[in-house]
Chain A
Amino acid sequence: MDSNRIQELLEKYWECETSLEEEQELRAYFSNGDIDEQFKDEAPLFQYYVNEKKDGGLDGLFDEQVLAELEKSQVSRPKKGNAVQLFFNLAKVAAVGLIIVTAGYFIREEMNKQEVQPYLTDTFEDPQKAFEETKKALQLISKNFNKGRKEVKKLSAFNEAQEKIKENNL
């Protein structure tokens, strides 16, 4: 490959101005063995990068282990059809009722813990509009938040002011 081209790419590389493709070009050049003497200082670096990518990895045993784990969790998912059969049996219907109540209770507990979604309805149907609104809202928070932080930094008397607000409002 043209030495001038490599020289040029290297200069760009050190300035962090190379594109991904150009960096790939450099790595390719340095790993093909036929390297110009003037670049011998840089050569091991790019060879190191290539080597790093080539060498490290996980074996097939890993795949097997992971896939086995995943299949386990898939099996534990509810299967279709079971529920239908349950309905043929009155006793089982009662059991289902119990499950629902218990599940409801536990899920509710979970929800209380994790606070899942108390907001159930959207005021927008157009995502674009909803996005614009969200953007406005977040920027409003952001702006006020930063303003507030600045104030905190500026005023050592902030605590005093805070107390005052509390007195006035609570």
Chain B
Amino acid sequence: MNMSLEAFKTRVLPTKDKLYRFAFKMLGDSEEARDVVQEVFIKVWNKRDDIDKLENMEAWCMRVTRNMSLDKLKSKKRKLTDSLDQTMEVSMGDKVTPYRSTEMNDMMQNIGRYIASLPEKQKQIIQLRDVEGYSYKEIGDILEIDLNQVKVNLFRARKSVRDNLLNANAYGL
């Protein structure tokens, strides 16, 4: 079946924010994240003849978003002499989110910064589960890892976040 532009508008376009947030978390750059989402959508459109065969289109889009972001990161890494981690740290440290975060208090900013510093996989799983609300199965599909990996990494991530939370409070930060 051929996807019409109308169907695209109702089925695909509404996923844009999720894709964008995910790409942004990985790239730390709002312009690049925007480009990635646009590329993903063009890819979906070009593949619209096959799209109906996909069991879970949204998860598929997220997966493509992730892979494209990884490609971007790789080429970025080649360009910069600094290690990836350093560049990420700097860019993530400056701005936790690109958005006008009016309600963000210090505590939440601290949390955001801490999550951004988690290992890549844990960071992505937190984003997918605790922010976007995907099931374990979907997260596995998106990250191309098995369920066990999803659970193990989520557990570690939540544990670190919790430890950080308790420490921060104990020291009155």
Contact = CB atoms under 8 A, between A and B. Distances in A.
- Establish whether A and B are touching in the complex (CB under 8 Å): yes
Interface range on chain B: under 10, 10 to 19, 20 to 34, or 35 or more?
35 or more
A23 B34 contact: no
A74 B42 CA distance: 11
Interface string A53-70: 101111000110111011
Interface in A40-90: 41-42, 44-45, 47-49, 51-53, 55-58, 62-63, 65-67, 69-71, 73-74
14 contacts: A20-B133, A20-B135, A41-B166, A45-B165, A51-B101, A52-B21, A52-B97, A53-B21, A57-B17, A62-B16, A62-B34, A63-B13, A66-B13, A73-B46
Given A58-B37, A67-B5, A45 B169 contact: no
Interface residues of A, number: 31
A44 to B, nearest CB: 4
A83 B160 CA distance: 64
A114 B161 CA distance: 46
A53 to B, nearest CB: 5
A13 interface: yes
A14 interface: yes
Interface of B: 5, 8-9, 13, 16-17, 20-21, 24, 34, 37-38, 41-42, 45-46, 97-101, 103-105, 107-108, 111-112, 127, 129-133, 135, 151, 154-155, 158-159, 161-162, 165-166, 169
A16 B131 contact: no
A16 B162 CA distance: 12
B38 A56 contact: no
B155 to A, nearest CB: 5
Contact of B5 (A23, A24, A71): A71
Contacts of A51: 101, 103-104, 108
